[in-house]
């Protein structure tokens, strides 16, 4: 088995090389991202391994299929960058649904603590021997209300962390889990001091935080997004910050991050005016989609992805990790019978 590994970074290789040892899987690493211009690099491969900013649209899917590719292995949980409809009946798609939900949930809380206690500013000051406390006042999390949009594994762990701080947790999700206080979205927006996004990006959740949603929020609300950038309408967020409706924003993802994140632009003029405006604001923290980046998560991603590949080509179904395109056969779902999707 030969796989083309796109958007490869130095921290990816050790784990994948380790789990490939002693198997019949050969990985060819490419630093470039997968898109319509680079898809030809997968020629002669049985599958491709992709990440969040690789573009796997219908044109790419069809070209991959023509070249004999029969599997797409996502080394992440989200799959909004893959046209699953185009894949159905041609190429099987697998993901890593839970590489380390603790990593993302803990990063979300780290961002919150940083922004409310001004630790990033204090760090910069003390490095210049400025020990003034002026402008560093924060507030307690204890007793505050946090709204958690999306209560999958990451959202539930984040909610539990917030409970540990003595916060009241409001939750919103179409699929509810026991032990959490669920409310409708408008109520969550109106009552929350902090709103944290932990839902996948779908047609229903695209710009779930927009101008209308922000207008319903409390003055001074903190918005946290460690899920997918397009959950937040960036222009609406900027206006909300300028109007002082939004007190702060903590963003590990950005709507137009694909051409920027994971790369070093420190010696260049960044042309994305919205991102430049956000980073220039004193009450905004932007990290470069790094919430997942822990040793435990990287190890789990490599192990699960390699297992997905080996199981597929050795005929072992993995319905818990195969991405399902809802084909409409509700009463005859092959995945529910622990078979391949098609």
pLDDT of residue 332: 65
Are 301 and 75 a contacting pair, CB within 8 Å?
A: yes
Strands ordered across the beta sheet of 284-286: 168-172, 145-149, 194-197, 221-225, 246-251, 284-286
Confidence of residue 99 (pLDDT cuts 50, 70, 90): confident
Task: Give residue-wise pLDDT tens across range 150-161.
Answer: 999 999 999 999
| pLDDT above 60: residue 278 | yes
State mean pLDDT over 220-245: 98
Strands ordered across the beta sheet of 47-50: 26-29, 2-5, 47-50, 71-74, 92-94
- Residue range 2-99+295-337 in CATH 3.40.50.720: yes
pLDDT of residue 91: 97
State mean pLDDT over 259-285: 96
Using DSSP's 3-state secondary structure scheme, residue 100 falls into: coil
The helix (run of H) or strand (run of E) holding residue 26 is strand 26-29
| pLDDT above 90: residue 338 | no
Q: What is the distance between the alpha carbons of residues 205 and 174, in angstroms, rounded to a whole number?
A: 11
| pLDDT above 90: residue 98 | no
Using DSSP's 3-state secondary structure scheme, residue 240 falls into: helix
What percentage of the chain exceeds 90 in pLDDT?
91
Are 144 and 193 a contacting pair, CB within 8 Å?
A: yes
Task: Give residue-wise pLDDT tens across range 70-91.
Answer: 999 999 998 999 999 999 999 9
- Residue 201 phi/psi, 5-degree rounding, is -90, 115
334 is catalytic: no
Question: Does residue 182 come out as left (phi exceeding 0), alpha (psi in the -120 to 50 range) or beta?
Answer: beta
Confidence of residue 331 (pLDDT cuts 50, 70, 90): low
Q: How many CB atoms lie under 10 A from the CB of residue 42?
A: 24
pLDDT of residue 324: 82
Q: What is the distance between the alpha carbons of residues 167 and 144, in angstroms, rounded to a whole number?
A: 5
- What does the domain layout of the chain look like in residue ranges? 2-99+295-337, 101-286
Q: Which of 106, 255, 257, 322 is catalytic?
A: 257
What is 101-286's CATH topology?
Answer: Rossmann fold (3.40.50)
Q: Which of 118, 228, 255, 322 is catalytic?
A: 228
| pLDDT above 70: residue 326 | no
Equal CATH topology for 2-99+295-337 and 101-286: yes
State mean pLDDT over 192-214: 97
pLDDT of residue 341: 75
Using DSSP's 3-state secondary structure scheme, residue 224 falls into: strand
| pLDDT above 60: residue 196 | yes
Which of these, 275, 132, 104, 279, lies nearest to 200 by C-alpha position?
Answer: 104
257 is catalytic: yes
* All residues at 6 or more sequence positions from 295 whose CB lies less than 8 Å from its CB, including other chains: none
User: 148: which strand partners?
Assistant: 171, 196
pLDDT of residue 44: 97
Burial class (CB within 10 angstroms; exposed 0-12, middle 13-18, buried 19+) of 320? exposed
| pLDDT above 70: residue 205 | yes
Q: What is the distance between the alpha carbons of residues 66 and 63, in angstroms, rounded to a whole number?
A: 5
Task: Give residue-wise pLDDT tens across range 24-53.
Answer: 999 999 999 999 999 999 999 999 999 999
Confidence of residue 340 (pLDDT cuts 50, 70, 90): confident
pLDDT of residue 124: 96
Q: What is the distance between the alpha carbons of residues 201 and 207, in angstroms, rounded to a whole number?
A: 9
pLDDT of residue 330: 53
State mean pLDDT over 125-148: 98
Report in angstroms the alpha-carbon separations of 33 from 79, 95, 265, 303, 338. 15, 17, 17, 22, 32
Q: What pTM does this model have?
A: 0.90
* All residues at 6 or more sequence positions from 330 whose CB lies less than 8 Å from its CB, including other chains: none
33 is catalytic: no
Q: What is the mean pLDDT of the chain?
A: 95
């Amino acid at each position: 088995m030969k796989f083309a590994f796109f958007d490869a970074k130095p921290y990816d290789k050790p784990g994948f090389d380790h789990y490939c040892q002693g198997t019949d899987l050969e990985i060819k690493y490419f630093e470039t991202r997968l898109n319509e211009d680079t898809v030809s690099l997968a020629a002669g491969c049985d599958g491709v391994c992709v990440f969040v900013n690789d573009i796997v649209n219908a044109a790419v899917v069809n070209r991959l299929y023509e070249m004999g590719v029969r599997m797409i292995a996502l080394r992440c949980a989200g799959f909004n960058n893959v046209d699953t409809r185009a894949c159905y009946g041609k190429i099987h798609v697998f993901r890593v649904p839970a590489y380390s939900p603790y990593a993302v949930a803990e990063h979300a809380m780290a961002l919150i603590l940083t922004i409310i206690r001004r630790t990033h500013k204090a760090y910069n000051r003390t490095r210049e021997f400025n020990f003034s406390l002026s402008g560093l006042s924060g507030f307690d999390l204890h007793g505050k209300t946090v709204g958690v949009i999306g209560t999958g594994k990451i959202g539930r762990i984040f909610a539990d962390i917030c409970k540990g701080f003595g916060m009241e947790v409001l939750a919103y999700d179409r699929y509810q889990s026991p032990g959490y206080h669920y409310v409708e979205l408008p109520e969550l927006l109106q009552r929350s001091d902090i709103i944290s996004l932990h839902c996948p990006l779908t047609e229903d959740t695209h710009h779930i935080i927009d101008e209308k949603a922000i207008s319903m929020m409390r003055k001074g609300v903190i918005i946290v997004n460690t899920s997918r950038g397009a959950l937040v309408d960036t222009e609406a967020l900027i206006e909300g910050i300028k109007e002082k409706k939004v007190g702060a924003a903590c963003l590990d993802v950005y709507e137009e991050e694909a051409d920027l994140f994971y790369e070093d632009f420190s010696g260049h003029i960044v042309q994305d005016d919205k991102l430049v405006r956000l980073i220039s604001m004193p009450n905004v923290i932007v990290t470069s989609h790094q919430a997942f980046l822990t040793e435990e998560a990287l190890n789990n991603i490599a192990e699960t992805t390699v297992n997905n590949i080996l199981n597929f080509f050795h005929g072992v179904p993995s319905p818990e990790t195969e991405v399902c395109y809802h084909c409409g056969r509700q009463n005859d779902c092959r995945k529910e019978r622990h078979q391949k999707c098609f």
